[in-house]
């Protein structure tokens, strides 16, 4: 035993010397003391029965029965039973990349049909498959715009999700990119500021519609300005809203991304989710990820293959367009099943319910003493309200009464301390919305 300890200590010493650290403490200097393991004294082993019971007790502490009015990019939508039923079939359990088309026709066709659905939804010409989530999809679009234009200035609207912006800045920290954030004025994109910074150095401008505050916009004028300067327009969209809103393709947007969670994926404590991307056909070879295509075999029979795979694991190496590796085809298939099940008119109906119920909630909340519902812009199913108290305190008390009431904007916007973002989906009943308003009034003034 003493020899083992001596050898281990020698190995540790050699490792520290190799990386230039003088001690274990120095090695962990970047980790704050309170974030380090406090002890490695693990509890004694337990039986299978005891472990299962312990995990169930822990899970029971999560409040999963709250009536949800939280959005901020992830939404509590109804998922038809057929989505779970079909996606749970055993042939879809392994959603690995279908490299061998001769034994992957089902998965390849699902990807192909998913891409077709995303194109119809966004009004764009071509879509890919397998992006991690809405935030990383937006980052990939940014990098794609740089490849297309050869420029390094990126304009980012402040009303783009702060979560997405954090992802973008983290992913590009070591790159030579000039980011310019455009301040949002009254919840909308500041056109004058965009015009000021659009020049022959700008690769793209990143927008979101509806934006993070819930406001709907028509960026057609921004698209025209950007194209005149040789820049591209990237727009992050909420797919359910496209049931009633004009598509990005109709407004001339160059690259469209979004979070597909609302298309048949449960909230599920943060994932797995689905990032989608669509663009113009001329940019197909600049897209990351994979594109499945339809073809014919030697006998003339229809089949499906991966037509483009510009990934580093293949021949591309350092010329790869991205590092997107994992396959999100199972999540994409859920989105395809959802869209196929709901259908065109069904999506219009779902979107209409979201809009109408949110308007009903806005009218109720506006009548509460001290509450101001922002009305400067039209909204879809999410809107901003200013409260007479700190939303963090209000949210805590509302949770005790069975509601997840909204998202505190002060968390990301310093000048919006008393602002709360509220989302209303088709799942919320009239009775729930009325009860929500009554409970909020009680919490604010009791």
Task: Render pLDDT for 385-421 as a digit per residue (tens, 0 to 9).
Answer: 999 999 999 999 999 999 999 999 999 999 999 999 9
Do 235 and 254 belong to one domain?
yes
pLDDT of residue 318: 66
22-36, 112-126, 249-263, 328-342: least confidently modelled range: 22-36
On whether residue 3 sits in a domain, the answer given is no
Q: Which residue's structure tokens are 């689905």?
A: 274
Express as a percent the part of the chain with pLDDT over 70.
Answer: 94
118 pLDDT above the threshold of 70: yes
Q: Are 149 and 297 members of one domain?
A: yes
* Shared domain check, 235 and 172: yes
Is position 43 within any domain?
no
For residue 52, what pLDDT band results from cuts at 50, 70 and 90? very high
Tokens of 252: 């001339």
Q: Is residue 222 part of a domain?
A: yes
Question: How many structural domains compose the chain?
Answer: 2
**Do 385 and 283 lie in a common domain?**
no
Same domain, 195 and 281: yes
What sign does the dihedral 268-351-426-443 (CA atoms) show?
positive
pLDDT for 28:
85
Whether residues 321 and 369 share a domain: the answer is no
Q: Find the helix or strand (DSSP H, E) in which 179 lies.
A: strand 178-182
Residues 131 and 272 in one domain: yes
Do 269 and 397 sit in the same domain of this protein?
Answer: no
Same-domain pairing of 356 and 325:
no
Whether residues 299 and 429 fall in one domain = no
* 369 and 335 assigned to the same domain: no
Domain boundary among 314, 339, 364: 339
Q: Is 247 within a domain?
A: yes
Helix H or strand E encompassing 4: helix 2-19
191 and 286 share one domain: yes
Cβ neighbour number for residue 60 with a 10 Å cutoff: 9
pLDDT over 90 percentage in the chain: 72
Lowest mean pLDDT among 39-53, 62-76, 93-107, 326-340: 93-107
Tens-place pLDDT, residues 170-220: 999 999 999 999 999 888 899 999 999 999 999 999 999 999 999 999 999
State the pLDDT at residue 394. Answer: 98
The tokens for 13 are: 């010493």
CATH of the domain at 230: 3.40.640.10
Residue 10 has pLDDT above 80, yes or no: yes
Q: Are 104 and 98 in contact (CB under 8 A)?
A: yes
- Domain residue limits at 393: 67-76+344-445
What is the per-residue pLDDT for 251? Answer: 97
What integer best gives the mean pLDDT of the chain? 92
Distance between CA atoms of residues 108 and 185, nearest Å: 45
Q: Is residue 429 part of a domain?
A: yes
pLDDT of residue 13: 86
Peptide bond into 210 cis (omega under 30): yes
Q: Which two tokens stand for residue 30?
A: 């970047």
């Amino acid at each position: 035993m003493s020899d083992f300890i001596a050898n281990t200590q020698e190995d540790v010493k050699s490792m520290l010397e190799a990386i230039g650290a003088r001690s274990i403490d120095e090695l962990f200097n970047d980790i704050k003391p309170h974030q380090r393991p406090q002890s490695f004294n693990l509890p004694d082993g337990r039986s299978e029965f005891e472990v299962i019971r312990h995990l169930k007790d822990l899970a029971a502490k999560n409040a999963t029965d709250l009536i949800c009015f939280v959005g901020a990019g992830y939404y509590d939508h109804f998922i038809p039973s057929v989505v779970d039923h079909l996606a749970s079939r055993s042939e879809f359990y392994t959603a690995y990349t279908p490299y061998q088309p001769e034994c992957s026709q089902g998965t390849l066709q699902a990807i192909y049909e998913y891409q077709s659905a995303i194109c119809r939804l966004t009004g764009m010409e071509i879509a890919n498959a397998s992006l991690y989530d809405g935030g990383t999809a937006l980052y990939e679009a940014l990098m794609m715009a740089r490849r297309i234009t050869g420029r390094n200035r990126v304009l980012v609207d402040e009303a783009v999700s702060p979560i997405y912006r954090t992802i973008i800045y983290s992913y590009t920290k070591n790159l030579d990119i000039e980011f310019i954030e455009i301040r949002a004025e009254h919840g909308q994109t500041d056109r004058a500021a965009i015009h000021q910074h659009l020049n022959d150095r700008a690769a793209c401008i990143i927008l979101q519609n509806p934006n993070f505050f819930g406001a709907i916009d028509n960026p057609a004028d921004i698209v025209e300005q950007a194209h005149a300067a040789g820049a591209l327009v990237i727009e992050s969209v909420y797919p359910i809203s496209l049931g009633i809103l004009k598509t990005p393709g109709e407004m001339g947007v160059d690259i469209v991304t979004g979070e597909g969670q609302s298309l048949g994926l449960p909230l599920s404590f943060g994932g797995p989710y689905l990032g989608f991307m669509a663009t113009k056909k001329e940019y197909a070879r600049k897209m990351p990820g994979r594109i499945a295509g339809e073809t014919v075999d030697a006998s003339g029979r229809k089949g499906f293959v991966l037509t483009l795979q510009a990934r580093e694991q293949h021949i591309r190496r350092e010329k790869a367009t991205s590092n997107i590796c994992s396959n999100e085809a199972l999540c994409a298939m859920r989105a395809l099943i959802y869209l196929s099940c709901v259908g065109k008119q069904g999506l219009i109906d779902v979107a209409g319910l979201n809009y109408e119920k949110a308007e009903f909630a806005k009218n109720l909340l506006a009548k509460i003493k001290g509450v101001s519902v922002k009305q400067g812009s039209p909204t879809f199913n999410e809107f901003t309200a200013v409260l007479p108290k700190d939303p963090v305190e209000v949210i805590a008390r509302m949770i005790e009464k069975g509601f997840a009431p909204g998202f505190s904007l002060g968390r990301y916007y310093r000048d919006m301390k008393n602002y709360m973002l509220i989302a209303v989906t088709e799942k919320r009943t009239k009775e729930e919305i009325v009860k929500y308003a009554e409970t909020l009034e009680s919490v604010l003034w009791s």
